[in-house]
């Protein structure tokens, strides 16, 4: 059966588990060939097996690598193009969550200054720097081919500001700002850059068992799939610089209307308005 993403090739970072696995499977189910890449080899193999089981052998290729290693984003892109024959869609999903500092971060929020420096730096390396290095690797190629999709997974504004989420929240705020700037830089090139978030705590290991929330009350990873597939499709060619909340996407109405209801500009520009010389607000 033909899918809206037939012929497209996608990379989903951190797709060994969680939201990344759901999104990689969703892209493959819509016809894309997907590179599953993660630092943990066993979960890469699991995701690849699941996707191949549902979508066929060619649907998934697994690359295990620490994407924060020097040169890893560029070599991921080069290898994808060499082995799969192209690249059209990049989902920057890999992340290190607040549970890496304190599994019980919701009830025992660690102070900012208590965060181990190594975890702080690794959190920034994955959540903030990696999407930048991925942009450096893909943008010249996407702009040359006049088509490309970058979808960055940030987080909710309240998580960015939440006590106990010092490294996580602030690195995600950096990614949100970076994504806004990147979307302005690609305007008119045929490439689009958007943000997609679940909209609150989602049912992955990022919200550990210690959290005082029932798993079934969490947002389920599948809420990412329908908006992601639409954003990656030709139907969303003119959609750039927007942030979408998966949990607010109504699958019962036409995608354009769902996108309108679940979307807003990236990074809350309505809060902007600094005073420039001459009293002009920008």
Ligand X SMILES: NC(=O)c1ccc[n+]([C@@H]2O[C@H](COP(=O)([O-])OP(=O)(O)OC[C@H]3O[C@@H](n4cnc5c(N)ncnc54)[C@H](O)[C@@H]3O)[C@@H](O)[C@H]2O)c1
Q: Please list the active-site residues.
A: 168
Closer CB to ligand X, residue 51 or residue 67?
67
Least distance to ligand X, CB of residue 198, Å? 5
Please give the Cα distance from 56 to 282 (Å, whole number): 51
Closer CB to ligand X, residue 24 or residue 31?
24
Closer CB to ligand X, residue 19 or residue 31?
19
Least distance to ligand X, CB of residue 44, Å? 9
Please give the Cα distance from 275 to 271 (Å, whole number): 13
Least distance to ligand X, CB of residue 252, Å? 24
Please give the Cα distance from 32 to 55 (Å, whole number): 10
Least distance to ligand X, CB of residue 11, Å? 11
Least distance to ligand X, CB of residue 172, Å? 6
For 16, residues 6+ apart whose C-beta sits below 8 A from its C-beta are 36, 38, 39, 40, 42, 43, 44, 46, 47
CB-count burial class (<10 Å; 0-12, 13-18, 19+) for 131: buried
Nearest in space to 89 (alpha carbons), one of 48, 134, 156, 128: 134
SS3 (DSSP) at 90: strand
Q: Could you give the C-alpha distances from 15 to 4, 26, 146, 229, 263, in angstroms and in order?
A: 21, 11, 26, 15, 24
Instruction: Return the residue nearest ligand X (CB atom).
Output: 18
Closer CB to ligand X, residue 31 or residue 193?
193
Q: Point out which residues bind ligand X (CB under 6 A).
A: 13-14, 16-20, 38-40, 43, 66-68, 93-97, 126, 153, 155, 197-198, 201-202, 204-207
Please give the Cα distance from 60 to 49 (Å, whole number): 8
Closer CB to ligand X, residue 104 or residue 145?
104
Please give the Cα distance from 76 to 229 (Å, whole number): 22
């Amino acid at each position: 059966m033909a899918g809206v993403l037939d012929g497209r090739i996608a990379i989903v970072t951190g797709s060994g588990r969680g939201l990344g696995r759901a999104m990689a499977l969703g892209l493959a189910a819509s016809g894309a060939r997907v590179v599953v890449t993660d630092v943990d080899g066993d979960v890469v193999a699991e995701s690849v097996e699941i996707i191949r089981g549902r979508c066929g052998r060619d649907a998934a290729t697994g690359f295990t690598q620490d994407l924060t290693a020097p040169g890893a984003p560029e070599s991921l892109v080069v290898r994808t193009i060499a082995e799969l024959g192209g690249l059209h869609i990049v989902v920057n999903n890999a992340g290190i969550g607040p549970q890496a500092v304190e599994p019980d971060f919701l009830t025992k929020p660690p102070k900012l200054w208590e965060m181990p420096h190594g975890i702080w730096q690794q959190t920034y390396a994955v959540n903030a720097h990696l999407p930048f290095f991925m942009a450096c690797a893909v943008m010249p190629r996407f702009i040359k081919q006049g088509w490309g999709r970058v979808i960055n997974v940030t987080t909710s504004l309240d998580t960015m500001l939440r006590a106990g989420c010092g490294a996580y929240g602030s690195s995600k705020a950096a990614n949100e700002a970076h994504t806004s700037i990147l979307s302005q830089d690609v305007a008119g090139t045929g490439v689009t850059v958007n943000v997609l978030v679940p909209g609150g705590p989602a049912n992955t290991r990022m919200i550990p068992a210690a959290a005082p929330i029932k798993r079934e009350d969490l947002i389920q990873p599948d809420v990412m799939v329908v908006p992601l597939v639409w954003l990656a499709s030709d139907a969303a060619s003119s959609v750039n610089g927007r942030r979408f909340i998966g949990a607010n996407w109504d699958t019962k109405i036409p995608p354009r209307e769902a996108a309108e209801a679940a979307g807003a500009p990236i990074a809350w520009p309505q809060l902007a308005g600094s005073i420039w010389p001459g009293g002009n607000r920008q």
